[in-house]
Amino acid sequence: MDKLILIDGNGIIYRAFFAMPPLTNSSGVHTNAVYGFTNMLLRLIEEEKPTHILVAFDAGKVTFRHEGYQDYKGTRQKTPPELSEQFPLMKELLQAFGIAQYELEGYEADDIIGTVTKLAEQENRQVIVVTGDKDMLQLASDHIKIALTRKGVTEIEMYGPEQVMERYGLTPSQITDLKGLMGDTSDNIPGVPGVGEKTALKLLHQYGSVEELLAHTDELKGKLKENIETHAESARMSKQLATIYRDVPLTQTWEHMKFSGLQADTAVPALRKLEFKSLLERLSLVTSGEAEVSEQDIPAEELNVKIVTEQNMHELEGALSQIDVLHVETHGDNPHQASIVGIIMSSPEEQFYIPIELLKSDSGRKVAEWFADSKISKRGYDLHRTDLALHWHGITFAGASFDVQLAAYLLDPTEANQEISDLARKYGLPSLPLDEDVFGKGAKYKVPSEDVLTVHLARKAAALRKIISKQEEELRSNEMNRLFYDMEMPLSRILADMEKQGISVHKDDLRALGKEFEEQLDKLVQQIYEIAETEFNINSPKQLGEILFDKLGLPVIKKTKTGYSTDAEVLEKLAPYHDIVQFILQYRQLAKLQSTYVEGLLKEIRPETGKVHTYYRQTIAATGRLSSQFPNLQNIPIRLEEGRKIRKVFVPSEPGWYILAADYSQIELRVLAHISDDERLKEAFLHDMDIHTKTAMDVFGVKAEEVDANMRRSAKAVNFGIVYGISDYGLSQNLNIPRKEAARFIEQYFEVFQGVRRYMDEIVKEAKRDGYVKTLLERRRYLPDINASNFNLRSFAERTAMNTPIQGTAADIIKLAMIQMDQALQDHRLKSRMLLQVHDELVFEVPEDELETMKKLVPETMEKALPLSVPLKAEVSYGVNWYEAK
DNA sequence: GCACGGTCG
DNA sequence: CAAAACGACCGTGCT
Give the nucleotide at minimum CA-to-C1' distance from A595: C11
Give the nucleotide at minimum CA-to-C1' distance from A588: B6
A535: pLDDT confidence band, cut at 50, 70 and 90?
Answer: very high
Question: Distance (Å) from CA A273 to C1' C3?
Answer: 27
**Which pLDDT score is estimated for A72?**
33
**Protein residue at shortest CA distance from C1' of B7:** A635
Question: Distance (Å) from CA A543 to C1' B3?
Answer: 14
Q: Please tell me the distance from the alpha carbon of residue A796 to that of residue A99, in angstroms, as a whole number.
A: 32
* Strand, coil or helix: A545: helix
Give the nucleotide at minimum CA-to-C1' distance from A567: B5
From the CB of residue A142, how many other CB atoms can be counted at a distance below 10 Å? 11
A285: pLDDT confidence band, cut at 50, 70 and 90?
Answer: low
Strands of A153-272 (E only): list them.
Answer: 155-159
Question: Distance (Å) from CA A797 to C1' C4?
Answer: 12
> Given 3.40.220.10, 3.30.70.1290, 3.40.50.300, 3.30.420.10, which CATH number is that of A300-502?
3.30.420.10
Q: Please tell me the distance from the alpha carbon of residue A436 to that of residue A456, in angstroms, as a whole number.
A: 12
Q: Please tell me the distance from the alpha carbon of residue A620 to that of residue A640, in angstroms, as a whole number.
A: 28
Whether A614 shows a pLDDT value over 90: the answer reads yes
Q: Are A315 and A363 in contact (CB under 8 A)?
A: no
Strands of A295-383 (E only): list them.
Answer: 305-307, 325-331, 339-346, 351-353, 378-380
Burial readout A179-215 (b: 16 or more C-beta within 10 A, e: otherwise):
bbbbbbebbebbbbeebeeebbbebbeebebbeebee
Whether A106 shows a pLDDT value over 80: the answer reads no
Provide the residue type at A585 as one letter. Answer: L
Q: Please tell me the distance from the alpha carbon of residue A775 to that of residue A675, in angstroms, as a whole number.
A: 9
Give A652's contacts (C-beta < 8 A, 6+ positions apart).
A504, A658, A659, A845, A846, A880, A881
Higher-pLDDT residue of A448, A27: A448
**Which pLDDT score is estimated for A806?**
97
Of these ranges, A71-80, A129-138, A216-225, A762-771, the one predicted with the greatest mean pLDDT is: A762-771
Question: Distance (Å) from CA A540 to C1' C15?
Answer: 14
A701: pLDDT confidence band, cut at 50, 70 and 90?
Answer: very high
**Which pLDDT score is estimated for A61?**
37
**Protein residue at shortest CA distance from C1' of C2:** A791
A731 Cβ contacts chain C strand, under 7 Å: yes
Question: Distance (Å) from CA A215 to C1' C14?
Answer: 85
Give the nucleotide at minimum CA-to-C1' distance from A593: B7
How many Cα atoms are found within 13 Å in the side-chain-facing hemisphere of A384? 25
Question: Distance (Å) from CA A643 to C1' B5?
Answer: 17
Pairing of strands A325-331, A650-651: unpaired
Q: Are A181 and A155 in contact (CB under 8 A)?
A: no
pLDDT (tens digit per residue) in A706-729: 999 999 999 999 999 999 998 999
A334 Cβ contacts chain C strand, under 7 Å: no
Whether A538 shows a pLDDT value over 90: the answer reads yes
Question: Distance (Å) from CA A763 to C1' B8?
Answer: 28
Q: Are A695 and A714 in contact (CB under 8 A)?
A: no
**Cα-flanking dihedrals φ and ψ of residue A149, to 5°?**
-80, 145
A188: pLDDT confidence band, cut at 50, 70 and 90?
Answer: low
| H-assigned helices in A322-382 | 356-360, 365-372
Q: Whose CB is within 7 A of strand B?
A: A 442, 541, 560-569, 571, 588-589, 592-593, 596, 634-640, 643-644, 807, 838-841
**Which pLDDT score is estimated for A335?**
97
Q: Minimal CA–CA distance to A503: which of A17, A10, A40, A885? A: A885
Instruction: Work out the mean pLDDT of chain A and round it to a whole number.
Output: 90
Question: Distance (Å) from CA A853 to C1' B9?
Answer: 27
Q: Are A118 and A246 in contact (CB under 8 A)?
A: yes
Q: Please tell me the distance from the alpha carbon of residue A550 to that of residue A543, in angstroms, as a whole number.
A: 10
A101 Cβ contacts chain C strand, under 7 Å: no
Distance (Å) of CA A668 to CA A295, A630, A873: 46, 27, 11
**pTM for the whole structure:** 0.73
Question: Distance (Å) from CA A310 to C1' C6?
Answer: 55
A808 Cβ contacts chain C strand, under 7 Å: no
Q: Please tell me the distance from the alpha carbon of residue A253 to that of residue A562, in angstroms, as a whole number.
A: 60
DSSP, res A878: E
Q: Are A10 and A57 in contact (CB under 8 A)?
A: yes
A721 Cβ contacts chain C strand, under 7 Å: yes
Higher-pLDDT residue of A529, A186: A529
**Cα-flanking dihedrals φ and ψ of residue A51, to 5°?**
-95, -20
**Protein residue at shortest CA distance from C1' of C10:** A596
Averaged pLDDT for residues A666-670: 98
For chain C, which bases have at least one atom within 7 A of a protein Cβ?
2-14
Q: Are A16 and A86 in contact (CB under 8 A)?
A: no
Provide the CA A429 distance to its chain's centre, in angstroms: 22
From the CB of residue A509, how many other CB atoms can be counted at a distance below 10 Å? 15
Distance (Å) of CA A378 to CA A370, A373, A398, A401: 10, 10, 8, 5
Give the nucleotide at minimum CA-to-C1' distance from A625: C7
Architecture of the structural domain at A3-242: 3-Layer(aba) Sandwich (3.40)
A774 Cβ contacts chain C strand, under 7 Å: no
Q: Minimal CA–CA distance to A516: which of A604, A645, A631, A651? A: A645
* Strand, coil or helix: A734: helix
A137: pLDDT confidence band, cut at 50, 70 and 90?
Answer: confident
Give the nucleotide at minimum CA-to-C1' distance from A604: C10
Whether A247 shows a pLDDT value over 70: the answer reads yes
**Which pLDDT score is estimated for A318?**
98
**Protein residue at shortest CA distance from C1' of C13:** A540
**Which pLDDT score is estimated for A222?**
76
Q: Are A194 and A227 in contact (CB under 8 A)?
A: yes
Question: Distance (Å) from CA A485 to C1' B3?
Answer: 41
Strand partners, A342: A329
Provide the residue type at A825 as one letter. Answer: L
**Which pLDDT score is estimated for A73?**
32
Q: Please tell me the distance from the alpha carbon of residue A621 to that of residue A265, in angstroms, as a whole number.
A: 27
Q: Please tell me the distance from the alpha carbon of residue A694 to that of residue A702, in angstroms, as a whole number.
A: 10
Question: Distance (Å) from CA A563 to C1' B2?
Answer: 15
Q: Minimal CA–CA distance to A257: which of A73, A3, A455, A23? A: A3
**Which pLDDT score is estimated for A287?**
58
Q: Which CATH class is domain A504-612?
A: mainly alpha
Question: Distance (Å) from CA A720 to C1' C9?
Answer: 22
Question: Distance (Å) from CA A434 to C1' C10?
Answer: 28
**Protein residue at shortest CA distance from C1' of C12:** A539
Averaged pLDDT for residues A27-51: 81
Strand partners, A144: A127
Q: Minimal CA–CA distance to A781: which of A623, A673, A642? A: A623
Q: Are A810 and A103 in contact (CB under 8 A)?
A: no
Q: Please tell me the distance from the alpha carbon of residue A234 to that of residue A183, in angstroms, as a whole number.
A: 9
Give A149's contacts (C-beta < 8 A, 6+ positions apart).
A12, A15, A40, A130, A131, A132, A155, A156
Give the nucleotide at minimum CA-to-C1' distance from A542: C13
pLDDT (tens digit per residue) in A66-104: 444 344 333 445 567 777 778 777 887 887 888 888 887
**Which pLDDT score is estimated for A288?**
47
For chain B, which bases have at least one atom within 7 A of a protein Cβ?
1, 3-9
**Which pLDDT score is estimated for A166?**
81
Going from N- to C-terminal start, the domains of chain A cover 3-242, 300-502, 504-612, 688-752
Q: Are A112 and A139 in contact (CB under 8 A)?
A: no
Total length of chain A: 886
**Protein residue at shortest CA distance from C1' of C14:** A540
